[in-house]
Amino acid sequence: AQSVAQPEDQVNVAEGNPLTVKCTYSVSGNPYLFWYVQYPNRGLQFLLKYITGDNLVKGSYGFEAEFNKSQTSFHLKKPSALVSDSALYFCAVRDSGGGATNKLIFGTGTLLAVQP
């Protein structure tokens, strides 16, 4: 079965510093990986995806993610954090287990707190 793991419940970073939110995956077959951000009482917003191709994927709001097949990781990164980046971040994998709609399976989420 497909799954993702987010080992950190919370990441704290000072504004202007680089940030990394970690995600590792376990899939059978090719991985289809996504990052979403959730602000309080809001829906999940799509940030970026990895399907194939370059290991460094660029997404919305200056975020990028690095796909590493040997380490089965898909860490979310940003060179310079903003206070407004403070939110809950979810890594997700596309389920290729046979369901016709290939639902997303989410990690447990990482709360990013950016201090001014």
Partner 1 sequence: AAGVIQSPRHLIKEKRETATLKCYPIPRHDTVYWYQQGPGQDPQFLISFYEKMQSDKGSIPDRFSAQQFSDYHSELNMSSLELGDSALYFCASSLRQGAYNSPLHFGNGTRLTVT
Residues that bind partner 1 in the complex, under the rule CB under 8 A: 32, 34, 36, 41-46, 49, 51, 90, 94, 96, 99-109
In the complex, minimum distance from the CB of residue 87 to partner 1, in angstroms, rounded to a whole number? 14
Q: DSSP class of residue 109?
A: -
Nearer to partner 1 by C-beta: 79 or 97? Answer: 97
Nearer to partner 1 by C-beta: 54 or 116? Answer: 54
The three-point CA angle 86-89-94 to 5° equals 160
What is the secondary structure of 53-68 as a DSSP string? Answer: S-SEEE-GGG-EEEEE
Identify any residues that bridge with 20 across adjacent strands, giving them in sequence order: 77
Nearer to partner 1 by C-beta: 82 or 104? Answer: 104
